[in-house]
Chains A and B, each alone.
Chain A
């Protein structure tokens, strides 16, 4: 056996071991210093933009409801126009919404009616579903409108056909120049908008600038008049129907065309297409927009 007497070689081994240990520890420290997570703190920021989107969407939906809730006729039918109380209603909504939104997040939203950009006009409507569709037979319900922001028809009886003709001349030009669609209990809706399943009453047609939806008894269609067709200098709306055609309608037309808008009685005048200024701000996002309630869609 090798003697360990007078043996000092262990000192060198110890020094070597310390050097190795120091190198390992240094490497660990270096790794920790240089190591960097690939994950960045972008989650909160992304959420703030999504919140903006959601808030704006919510405000716009609320304004649609507020507009329709503001004007109701004597039979409780909501009409697409606003009276002088609407601006006060928007102010009240603005105050309430700001209070509501600031309770659970660092954000502020403001909504203002832009009176100078908002568009006045008239709404022709029928409010008795049991009565004949329009009192005085086939006639224009709206003439000389600059735009038709909303056209809503509800049919409670389609045993006689109803033809809706929209033309830029009064009297109507050739049928080929019309925007025209027909509702019947045999073929549903045909013509410039189509929904073959809508052949059983009640049938509801709701168009905003020529695009919208049709709902019937067991039928639902999204519909749109061709954008190039829905581009008239002025809009004149005529219903052609038989004596058994019953229902209600509301057709709003914007002023601003070559002649003053005229509509069949009953008719209300007021704000038919309001414009709002929206702003929303949170720590990361500043957003503002001008929102037109019935805007022509980029179809």
Chain B
């Protein structure tokens, strides 16, 4: 038994430090690359999902404001109202976005850099006047003479 052990101690056949190092580096590289690639894909999909949800949330919130203003308009004559919601300047931390209200009653919240948008159709008794605002500077208005709902001020 002792003799066999001594034989193995001296046996350096099939052992190459260079090959061992190369294999270790290669395996590590593959593992780290896989990790980075999968992280990037995960981040990208998460970014798109969160961006889409934030655009949708902002859009639906604006639609609810417009409907609320439409209701308020029925409470009297020469009704004016302004609300300035506290939306973030950017979505997903870094993407600027804009909100556009069209005369036909469509609200579009769009981020060109993210390449996503959310559209909403609204139906109101009060007239709609088109307008555009950028994120973080949102103002929704119910204006008089004539009564209308718009974005970004009554002028």
The answer to whether A45 has its CB under 8 Å from any CB of chain B is: yes
Check B120 for interface membership: any CB of A closer than 8 A.
no
**A27-55 at interface with B (beta carbon < 8 Å):** 27, 30-31, 34-42, 44-46, 48-50, 52-53
In the assembled complex, the Cα of A37 lies from the Cα of B49 at a distance in Å of 10
What's the Cα separation between A284 and B81 when bound, in Å? 10
Interface size class of B (residues with CB under 8 A): 35 or more
Q: How far is the CB of B88 from chain A (nearest CB, A)?
A: 7
List residues of chain A with CB within 8 A of the CB of B8.
1-3
A289 within 8 A of B: yes
B31 touches A36 (CB 8 A): no
Q: How many angstroms between the C-alpha atoms of A2 and B15 in the bound complex? A: 11
> Is B129's CB within 8 Å of the partner chain A?
no
Q: Which of the residues B5, B31, B78 comes within 8 Å of A1, measured between beta carbons? A: B5
- Which B residue sits closest to A60, measured CB to CB? B75
Min distance, Cβ B134 to any Cβ of chain A, angstroms: 16
Q: A101 at interface (Cβ–Cβ under 8 A)?
A: no
Interface contact A56-B28, CB-CB below 8 Å: no
Contact with A34, one of B25, B47, B81 (Cβ below 8 angstroms): B47
Contact with B along A276-293 (1 / 0, CB 8 A): 001000001111111110
Most A CB contacts (10 A, CB to CB) among B9, B58, B81 go to B81
Verify A45–B76 contact, CB threshold 8 A: no
- Tell me which of A23, A34, A36, A295 contacts B32 (CB under 8 A): A23
Contact across chains for A45 and B85 when beta carbons are under 8 A apart: yes
Is A89 close to B, CB under 8 A? no
Given contacts A30-B39, A31-B43, A287-B72, contact A40 B88 (CB under 8 A): yes
Binary contact track B49-85/A, C-beta < 8 Å → 1, others 0: 1100110011001001100110110111111111111
Task: Assess the B47–A27 pair: CB atoms within 8 A.
Answer: no
Beyond the given A35-B46, A290-B76, could you list 13 further A-B residue pairs with CB under 8 A, ordered by the A residue number? A9-B17, A13-B24, A23-B36, A37-B50, A38-B57, A40-B54, A46-B65, A50-B68, A56-B72, A56-B75, A287-B80, A291-B75, A291-B77
Write the residues of chain B forming the contact surface with A, with a CB cutoff of 8 angstroms: 5, 8-9, 17, 20-21, 24-25, 27-28, 31-32, 35-36, 39, 42-43, 46-47, 49-50, 53-54, 57-58, 61, 64-65, 68-69, 71-72, 74-88, 91-93, 125
**Chain A contact residues, CB within 8 Å of chain B:** 1-3, 5, 9, 12-13, 16, 19-20, 23-24, 27, 30-31, 34-42, 44-46, 48-50, 52-53, 56-57, 60, 278, 284-292, 295, 298
